[in-house]
Chain A
């Protein structure tokens, strides 16, 4: 894992002092609320339903045991003893006091953590694949470049006040697990003629206007990534819309100009920066890359694992192929049925730290699916780790299954929500609590957002659930067929929305249609792609008057 050097440490300590002073000036009335808002946002602090919420960055998802212990401590001391892992490699605290945040930042700085640019209209945390460095389909480990890019984004003087937030994701694997098609900039590492570089995707995003990004450059040598991103950002900073927050993301600019014209502008801009001082040096790459070398793997033979059904289930769902023989990556599920997806208590964080120390070289990752990964576990340790994970309630074997839901905080916490999302997730989990049934249904992503801002990635869920407001009542619109990965696409709306009470039935009906129609070895998505949306639509709305019939019914009433 990356370790700070003197410059990194100095900057982060100066940041703590800066924010302490900003809070003091705000309290003293020297900064107005409007002047303070962007400053606190760029430190992850935004005011929501009950209290300020506070986002702590976990850059590209990597953490060590000391860091998660500090998160546990911070959540206990300054909050209510739990936190929420988001879809963008952050830990969100729901109830801290603004006045405490400088202290929290100081404690975080001790373990090389921060909340820099975790919200606000700036360059955000860079996200990547949770299996970086260990995935068997990895082309290039994205972490050294992600760290180099993290540093470049930090306090960038020209791009601190962009039209809107700006999110970058990097994938270094064959199969994209970082949702790169739906980021402001998505980067695919690849190798061409022996040269390492990126395919650069621009202008993707979810939210109110979901758009799949477009390739702006098929191959960019890795050394050029900072100067190229600066060219993109300069064009965006100058010409992105600032008159309407809903139209301010780069995707709107790219759509308005068309990718061709946008590319021309970027390339013209880049002609000036190309080959300049922002070109990454081999020396810097090597310096950073030494922090991400493989740990001291043992050579271990095949092991016989217990046949215990519960354990086997967990093995199947919560452990993943590793590029080193005798090792697996383990997902600790934060999707225990009945708990807000992504939530984790301080005690659980400490349990995770212990597991990481004992079994995975003291390191861990978080995924955009809001789970925790121990990336380097010996197969012979799997049974022991499973038992401890069960005790810590971190072993629900539902990774990639229907109840491993991605879910935003929704109406329980968020001011922008149209509807609650956590209770819907919990109701669906309750309905599908039977593990045999859950396993029979197989792989399926169900994603829930409480409004069109799409923090819960509903557009790319195989089943997407979106909270909508209908005459001040909470309703839910369902989409089918969305997906992440290389063929990422948006789901299709199935029809009129449903009440909260209807939702578990609706999901059950959708699942039934799949089960009745599936061929052997077909996942939900395969069946959906083969039979289309109509059979699902027909079943879900069966007996429900809509369209003309509904109007007729109303008139009759």
Chain B
């Protein structure tokens, strides 16, 4: 199981991520009860149904899912999980930047998938605030070090929109 890091601590996780099994489609899959993170396709196909039976809704975005396609729906989501199938696939950083900076998404933004110590700093800067650290990695060490590895940054980003040059003495 990945370890969820939130507010600088390992945290419990009430959310279940809906995965489609072989033969299931977004239209046919049974919608489980509870706190569920729905893949974008399921959300798009079953939006009314989901809204009618779920109070707390989560969304899962894959690297090739376009934020623009779901931009009007963001108020429905308590959590949006952005998947990094491989940590070297950097599309999720743009997804997060867009969600936060352009569409002003305020809910939990969770990095899931191949989430590793050395990317946490960047993830935090683009606006992730929860991190499903890959199974088997040292969460305590990550909490101690990974988010503060650099004490400042040159560019503007979600957590500090002002680039260093606007803050320089």
A contact set with B: CB distance below 8 Å: 5, 7, 10-11, 14-15, 17-18, 21-22, 25, 30-31, 35, 38-39, 121, 148, 151-152, 154-162, 226, 234, 237-238, 242, 272, 276-278, 280-281, 284, 287
Contact = CB atoms under 8 A, between A and B. Distances in A.
Interface in B69-94: 87-91, 93-94
A443 B122 CA distance: 48
Contacts of A237: 90-91, 93-94
Given A160-B122, A281-B166, A284-B168, A11 B152 contact: yes
11 contacts: A7-B152, A11-B153, A11-B154, A17-B149, A157-B123, A157-B153, A158-B90, A160-B93, A161-B88, A277-B163, A287-B165
Contact of A161 (B93, B137, B154, B155): B93
B53 interface: no
B89 A161 contact: yes
A35 B115 CA distance: 11
B151 A159 contact: no
Contacts of A278: 155-156, 163
Main secondary structure of the interface of B (DSSP, over half): loop
B140 interface: no
Contacts, number: 107
A272 B102 contact: yes
B90 A159 contact: yes
Given A18-B149, A277-B162, A278-B163, A157 B157 contact: yes
Contacts of A162: 90
A30 B142 CA distance: 12
Contact of A155 (B88, B97, B150): B150
B138 interface: yes
A7 B154 CA distance: 8
Contacts of A35: 87, 116, 118
Contacts of A11: 150, 152-154
B37 to A, nearest CB: 22
A162 B138 CA distance: 26
B20 interface: no
Contacts of A14: 149-151
B138 A30 contact: yes
Interface in B114-146: 116-119, 121-123, 125-126, 137-138, 145
Nearest to B90: A161
B161 interface: yes
Contacts of B151: 10, 14
B89 A242 contact: yes
